[in-house]
Copies of this chain bind each other. A is one copy, B any other.
Amino acid sequence: MISPTILPQGTSNAIEEGLELMPKFDAFGLLTAVAVDANTNEILMVAHMNAEALKKTMATGEAWYWSRSRSQLWRKGETSGQIQTIQEIRVDCDQDCLLLLVNVGGDGGCCHTGRRQCFYRRVDGIDENGTIRLAFV
C-alpha cells in the first residue's frame, strides 16, 4: 500500500465538502479519535492520534493512538490482546476528529480499568458542597 500523504488544510469548502482527508491537528499535533464498536455502536473510548498513528492505522488496519500520558505511539491491545480492527474510519466536518468503527479482539474489552468501555459513570447531581457526584452506570 502507498504510504499516505498528510495534506495541509485547504479552504473551508475543501475541508467540509471535499473528498480528500486534510486533517486539522491541534497545537499538539493531535486529532481526537472516538472508537465505536462496529457491531453494537457502543462508544468504547476516546483517545488521540498524531500523523504517525494515523499512518500506522491506515497501513495496518488496526487502531494506533498517541498516548498523551506516556508520550509515545500506542498500538491498542498490544499487551492486552484487545486489538481494534478497523471496519471504517469517519471524519467530521472540520476534520479534527475521527470516528473509528472497530471490532475488538481479545476479551472484547477496551478500558484499562478492566471494563468493556470507558464511560462507566454518569453525573448524578451536585451535593451540598458543590461537588459533582457520579454514579456507576
Q: Is the CB of B90 within 8 A of A18?
A: no
CA–CA, A90 and B27, complex, Å? 26
Known A-B contacts A19-B121, A121-B19, A128-B2; the reply to A91 vs B134 at CB < 8 A is: yes
Q: Is the CB of A43 within 8 A of B46?
A: no
Specify which chain B residues have a CB less than 8 angstroms from the CB of A70 in the assembled complex: none
CA–CA, A64 and B86, complex, Å? 32
Q: How far is the CB of A80 from chain B (nearest CB, A)?
A: 14
Q: How many residues of chain A get a CB closer than 8 Å to chain B's CBs?
A: 55
Within 8 A of B (CB), among A7-39: 7, 16-21, 27-28, 32, 34, 36
Out of B21, B36, B113, B128, which one reaches A134, CB within 8 Å? B21
CA–CA, A94 and B46, complex, Å? 10
Q: Counting CB contacts under 8 A, is A73 at the interface?
A: no
Specify which chain B residues have a CB less than 8 angstroms from the CB of A17 in the assembled complex: 113
Known A-B contacts A34-B34, A123-B88; the reply to A118 vs B130 at CB < 8 A is: no
- A residues with a Cβ closer than 8 A to B are 1-5, 7, 16-21, 27-28, 32, 34, 36, 41, 43, 45-46, 58, 69, 88-94, 97, 99, 111-113, 115, 118-124, 126-137
